[in-house]
């Protein structure tokens, strides 16, 4: 009787220790895998000033789309290494840059020169030239980027990750 009990507890011990060791092995292996998969999230968003061209390239009162390089791009990113802003010149040295994404669900807003409005093709969000909401579902004005006039009279914009332009909660 005692011998039987002993062998049962020995069996149980071996079973449990095998499971525990396997679990431990799985946990150890998953540390690098999970860290590797999450690595793009663990790095801080890079912020860099990007050159948009000479101040004189832009007419006062005009809003134009200007593309530039996305700071975090990988060598095989192709077209996705580029991003853009709507750049509006309102005075000699006054520039405003707006994100392309509608604050409703992130669709690309289109500047309509004649209407002096930004229109979103998805759910009809409308913004005035100053980026404030003119109508439709958008909860917030268009996201603004920092702009400065850098050396030799060139307009520069501070990059923002897309994550921030679509999710400014």
Partner 1 sequence: MKTVINWLDDRLGLSANLKPIIEHPVPPTGWDYTIGSATLIAFTVQVVTGVALAFTYVPTPDHAYESLEFITNGAILGNIVRGIHFWGASAMVLLVSMHAAQVFLIGAFKFPREVNWLSGTMLLVFTFGMAFTGQLLRWNQDAYWAVVVGAAQAARAPLIGDWLTGVLFAGRSVGGATLTRFYATHVFMIPAIIFGLLGVHLYLVLRHGVSEPPTPGVVVDPKTYRRQYEELVHKIGVPFWPDAGWKDVVFALAVGSIVLALAIWLGPPELGNKADPTVVQAYPRPDWYFLWYFALLALIPPSVEDIFIIGFPLLLGLLFVSLPFLAPYGERSPRRRPWAIGIVVFSGVSIAALVNVGSNAPWSPDLGNLTLPAQVKQGLSPTSAHGATVFEQRGCINCHRIAGVGGQRGPDLTTVGRRLSTDELTWRILTGGRNMPAYGATMTPQDTAALVEFLVSRS
Cα separation, 165 vs 88, whole angstroms = 18
Q: Is 54 in the site for partner 1 (CB under 8 A)?
A: no
Size of the site for partner 1 (CB under 8 A): 54
Judged by CB under 8 A, the residue of 55, 90, 128, 141 near partner 1 is: 128
Cα separation, 129 vs 119, whole angstroms = 11
Cα separation, 103 vs 124, whole angstroms = 12
CA angle 25, 27, 29 (to 5 degrees): 70
Stretch in the footprint of partner 1 (CB under 8 A) among 21-29, 62-70, 89-97, 145-153: 62-70
Cα separation, 40 vs 15, whole angstroms = 39
Q: Is 35 in the site for partner 1 (CB under 8 A)?
A: no
Residues that bind partner 1 (CB under 8 A): 40-41, 45, 65, 67, 70, 72-84, 100-101, 104-110, 112, 114-117, 119-124, 126, 128-129, 134-137, 139, 161-164, 166-167, 169
């Amino acid at each position: 009787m005692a011998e039987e009990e002993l062998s049962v507890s020995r069996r149980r011990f071996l079973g449990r220790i095998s499971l525990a060791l396997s679990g431990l092995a799985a946990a150890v292996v998953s540390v690098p895998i999970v860290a590797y998969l999450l690595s793009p999230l663990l790095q801080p968003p890079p912020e860099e000033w990007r050159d948009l061209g000479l101040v004189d390239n832009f007419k006062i009162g005009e809003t134009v789309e200007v593309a530039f390089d996305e700071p975090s791009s990988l060598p095989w990113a192709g077209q996705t290494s580029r991003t853009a802003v709507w750049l509006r010149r309102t005075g000699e040295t006054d520039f405003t840059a707006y994100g392309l994404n509608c604050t409703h669900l992130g669709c690309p807003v289109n500047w309509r020169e004649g209407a002096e409005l930004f229109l979103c093709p998805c759910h009809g969000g409308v913004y005035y030239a100053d980026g404030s909401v003119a109508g439709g579902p958008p909860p917030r004005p268009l996201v603004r980027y920092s702009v400065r006039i850098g050396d030799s009279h060139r307009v520069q914009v501070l990059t923002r990750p897309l994550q921030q332009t679509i999710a400014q909660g």
